[in-house]
A and B are shown apart, each in its own frame.
Chain A
């Protein structure tokens, strides 16, 4: 039986951040994730690194912590962040009093902002609706959520942190009022394993309630579903927020070659089997078009849904948990439920993941008697690429391909370049949208990668392959052949993985009922015989 000091349950940004934080403090930890990394809320959000502007009026404390974390993440993980900046747009329909409130609140929260007149706003963001009144700037940014999670895991792994993906926690052993071990099932092989530990951390997001119940603890989590649309092209240069009380479809984030519009907010029973209705999608498009009219005619590549795991303390008189901020809650179940060595971290936002990880790790370190302070706010997650490697990358690959590769792999890029030098055929571009080379694919499939790949979709989360307009129709096939050629998969496994991948991609497109993406979908169906989604114009579309 394996044993360690800490087991972390959940491979989202928070869990990954905790693994990194603990490994910096020299605490041995193993992270268990039931699927692939960033499979829950982390991988299903806008990828907006909040400046705090969104919460400035309603929740000054959350705004302040967002503003601080925004600066920290830009410093420790510049390779995951695209500093596009943001605008809070004043629409004629919205309350002008709120605009002034926002302006004052932003100053109080320490959010850098400039007031733009109508003309100036159109100058910096020509796609804005002609009738807007003006805008405020803010330091919003786009963060690649998969990259960020991966960067934490890779950095932790280099320092001895361990992680197992496709490892679903099945039960937690407790004895004498303490957690003793965590049991999990390998979802790929069906094998069951046990890890003895001193402390278990529940960072399972939408699944936190289920995990807590395994230790006999009640952690009420409400799942609030948000649906988001991926639109072809970047319809704006910066993050576009609507300057009003946060509501539906009022954020548009430019993300790589696409942009993401969202979100709705609907309470659901479970974080699994989510779907978006046609009405929901139409409402998103309608609302989005108020700020950026082009949204109405954009090609929708995909819809996806995620849940915000909201923690709702039960009203039991005394405080249900230690409230750290309005944003997130750290629950020490030893102190409050009599289950020692068990900690839950719930609520929060992607932007404050590091702060959540730091608070959790502080609590765990204290319990373990480790005095090392948190240093995740200063230690960069990825080293820099040296000049020699940079020059080599630009010699072997076209400049934009080299640039993306450096961003994704950091110093590890040297391994990929070595491989291309030895076998020039590896310079082939497999995914044209995200410019992924065969060499990079072989690297993420290989044993040197810190986070193993088990499926074609996992490759996407490492490299963004298949995130563009073809949605995997061509690059998925090539990735499948690559996995076969590197002897990772047998031919029949490879064919099955492709079929599973295409089914999964199709689900995200099944709501599409018009335009060019439907043509793409038809092609996909004709090529692979993937089930064609029912074509209706009014009914609800099942977009699980």
Chain B
């Protein structure tokens, strides 16, 4: 069996795992990121809802973690901006307004409180998004709020044949690869958007697009463009995931993606390896510290049931004893409450676990 050794091994590439890996890598450590696929971040809208920290004692560290995360997204070319004290309403796929604290910088101009005339542009064949539904819903709600600005539905047809039905993945992939398609899209949109200060589109503008590329796109079009997240696959969530993952890769984090971890063998209160099932060549990664950010629902990797975690983010068994000294929990696993935790809390626990994994590494090495 092949084996590799790292200073920190992170399991799971949801928002917590990515943050933990980035935090550890920032300390200059050799980091491995292991994941079967994109985590829950890729299902989401690419923004963080306004959910305040569970206790005020966590607030300072949360601000620090969020500052780190925003900086991370800036370096990754998809800068997130915002703050907890000033959430703004953003349109979602139900045509409702969602209170959002952090969003991609470019997306903020979609907020309800931007007083501009807006075209909602749908794409013929892309049945998951209905511009008329969206406009009718948003208009109902701005009228309630007394705004004089209304939303107008427009539909465009693209020459490119995406089949029935077209999907956001097809369009976004085409956007990434084909400059001619981007040019066509700009032309078509310019026509549809004439007379409007802003257009709202379903999320289709590339799975990998950097903020810079989107700024170019907007400049060529001549008016502000925002995307509305669709149901999964959500391009906005996938884009954030891809940008962060590529950034981690470029900053030296090694990625082991696509194959499941089948066990985390423990010996003498230490996690001694991460066994990966890859057809034909099973692989074991050794980490001085291991961060477990696989979510609550994935197959239990530890023989012990995780009953909670201590202040050092280490997993506890039912008796309250630490299961492994060099194992740290992040994401939903780190929260005692049921269900999914808020994204911002996942970032906080990822940040914390990453720091702890980095500082205590080697402390227990035999």
Interface residues of A (CB under 8 A from B): 424-425, 427-428, 438, 474, 477-478, 481, 484-485, 490-492, 494-495, 498, 515-516, 518-519, 522-523, 525-528, 532, 534-535
Contacts and interface: CB of A to CB of B under 8 A. Distances in A.
B133 A477 contact: no
A31 to B, nearest CB: 34
B338 interface: yes
Contact of B338 (A438, A478, A532): A532
A518 B128 CA distance: 25
Contact of B127 (A481, A491, A495, A534): A481
Contact of A490 (B130, B136, B231, B338): B136
B340 A522 contact: yes
Interface in B16-66: 40, 43-44
26 contacts: A424-B164, A425-B127, A425-B164, A427-B164, A438-B127, A474-B231, A481-B128, A484-B130, A484-B132, A491-B95, A491-B132, A492-B137, A492-B140, A494-B133, A495-B94, A495-B137, A498-B94, A516-B297, A522-B297, A522-B339, A523-B232, A525-B339, A526-B340, A527-B232, A528-B94, A532-B338
B125 A425 contact: yes
Q: Which 9 A/B pairs are nearest by Cβ-Cβ distance?
A: A535-B338, A491-B136, A519-B297, A428-B165, A491-B137, A532-B339, A481-B130, A491-B133, A484-B133
Residue of A491, A515, A516, A528 with highest tally of chain B CB at under 10 A: A491
A477 B44 CA distance: 16
Contact of B128 (A425, A478, A494, A526): A478
B338 A534 contact: yes
Contacts of A523: 40, 43, 232
Interface string B138-168: 0010000000000000000000000011000
Given A527-B43, A535-B339, 17 more contacts: A425-B125, A425-B127, A438-B127, A478-B128, A484-B132, A490-B136, A516-B297, A518-B297, A519-B297, A526-B43, A526-B340, A527-B232, A528-B94, A532-B338, A532-B339, A534-B338, A535-B338
Contacts of B297: 515-516, 518-519, 522
Contacts of B40: 523, 526
Interface in B117-136: 125, 127-128, 130, 132-133, 136
Nearest to A427: B164
A234 to B, nearest CB: 23
A interface majority secondary structure = helix
B241 to A, nearest CB: 15
A438 B127 CA distance: 10
A494 B136 CA distance: 11
Interface residues of B, number: 24
A527 B98 CA distance: 11
Contacts of B43: 523, 526-527
Interface string B344-355: 000000000000
Nearest to A529: B98
B216 interface: no
Contacts of B105: none
A495 B95 contact: yes
Interface string B276-289: 00000000000000
A496 B240 CA distance: 31
Contacts of B125: 425
A427 B163 CA distance: 11
Given A438-B127, A481-B133, A484-B133, A495 B340 contact: no
Contacts of A535: 338-339
B93 interface: yes
Interface in B323-362: 338-340
Nearest to A520: B297
A477 B129 CA distance: 10
A201 to B, nearest CB: 42
B170 interface: no
B164 A477 contact: no
A526 B140 contact: no
A219 B125 CA distance: 56
Interface string B63-97: 00000000000000000000000000000011110
Interface string B90-110: 000111100000000000000
A527 B128 CA distance: 14
A417 to B, nearest CB: 15
Contacts of A534: 338
A474 B232 CA distance: 9
B219 to A, nearest CB: 33
